[in-house]
Amino acid sequence: MSLLVVGSVALDTIQTPFGIRKNILGGSATYFSVSARFFSPVNIVAVVGEDFPAAHINFLKNKGIGIEGLSIQPGGKTFRWEGAYSWDFNNAKTIATHLNVFVDFNPRLPAGYRKSKYVFLANIDPQIQAAVLNQVDNPRFVACDTMNHWITNKRKDLIKFLNKVDLLFLNDAEARQLSGENNLYKAALAINKFGPKKLIIKKGEHGALLFSKNSTFSVPAFLLKDVVDPTGAGDTFAGAVMGYLAQRGRFDDATLRRALVWGNVMATFAVEGFSLSRLAGVNGAAIRKRLKEFQALVSF
């Protein structure tokens, strides 16, 4: 089934204890789609500037990702993010954010994308998330991400939009901020009242929680020896979750739990290299091998 992601395609400059990489391919829609494509066809809607290397566009196209909705703004500059991680990879420090073409991002969906059944609205202004969703005819399953910036500055718009969302992805700090509850169980109950019947709370190296009607699922993260760059882990995770759900065409509890496990597995590849260097290179055999390793890690 057709999966649509609306988000950023960016050029990142990343510093980690393992080095610095300048102007490498990044962005939520990029990580999401490169991960989701292993499970389902996926189309992206995003905007870049004229400075965006054609090689990156070819890269996405060659991965089988639909790029009809990737517009190049004449005279514009690509969205850029500069961040740094210390040895504690759980927290990124933003050094600079240049929104550039993202300032006026107000996407019109290509006609063919309006019939998308699975929609992921990555972390952008909730008013834009709502405006995009309005262009989709009759989606079966809608998920979104957000961040502290929108929870603080666009709380009303965000809560209004959440009413249209089936599944919300948040990290633990965002869940606490949005709900005003410190206990994550209570936070989930509070967020549930805003609309989303399903909630995934991402806890970085500590795994993830899934809250759905009458059921809670807790899954640890894969234990990795070599984390190189955690950028994009959350979007890679979401891409696998949504890709798997689109592939299965169902959202029952058992399917959702398996989707989180796939999210976990795919996220490991995102963090083992800078940019998409590792994620882009894996194949089905490597993914299945890691799934087996994950099962060995958590079974008792």
Q: Tell which one of 218, 252, 286, 288 touches its own copies (CB under 8 A).
A: 218
- Residue 54, judged by CB atoms within 10 A of its CB (0-12, 13-18, 19+), counts as exposed
- Residue 239 and residue 35 in contact, taking contact as beta carbons nearer than 8 Å: yes
CA dist 93 and 58 (Å) reads 30
- Residue 84 and residue 95 in contact, taking contact as beta carbons nearer than 8 Å: yes
Q: Tell which one of 186, 197, 250, 289 touches its own copies (CB under 8 A).
A: 186
| Nearest residue to 122 (alpha-carbon basis) of 38, 11, 36 | 36
C-beta of 51 vs 205, nearer to its own copies = 205
Q: Segment contacting its own copies (CB under 8 A): 30-38, 99-107, 156-164, 180-188?
A: 180-188
- Residue 159 and residue 146 in contact, taking contact as beta carbons nearer than 8 Å: no
Q: Segment contacting its own copies (CB under 8 A): 76-84, 100-108, 210-218, 229-237?
A: 210-218
In the range 65-94, which residues lie near its own copies by CB under 8 A? 87-88
Interhelix angle 54-62/28-36, nearest 10 degrees:
30
- Residue 261, judged by CB atoms within 10 A of its CB (0-12, 13-18, 19+), counts as buried
Q: Under rule CB under 8 A, how many of the chain's residues touch its own copies?
A: 33
**Lookup: tokens for 168:** 């919300």
14, 65, 293 from 279: Cα distances, Å: 17, 14, 17
* Residue 250 interacting with its own copies (CB under 8 A): no
- Residue 268 and residue 224 in contact, taking contact as beta carbons nearer than 8 Å: yes
Q: Least CB distance from residue 284 to its own copies, whole Å?
A: 20
Q: Least CB distance from residue 300 to its own copies, whole Å?
A: 4
Q: Least CB distance from residue 93 to its own copies, whole Å?
A: 16
* Residue 106 interacting with its own copies (CB under 8 A): no
Q: Tell which one of 57, 92, 131, 219 touches its own copies (CB under 8 A).
A: 219
Q: Segment contacting its own copies (CB under 8 A): 37-45, 109-117, 214-222, 273-281?
A: 214-222
* Residue 216 interacting with its own copies (CB under 8 A): yes
Q: Segment contacting its own copies (CB under 8 A): 20-28, 36-44, 97-105, 212-220?
A: 212-220
Residues that bind its own copies (CB under 8 A): 87-88, 182-186, 203, 206-207, 209, 215-221, 223-227, 254, 257-258, 260-261, 296-300
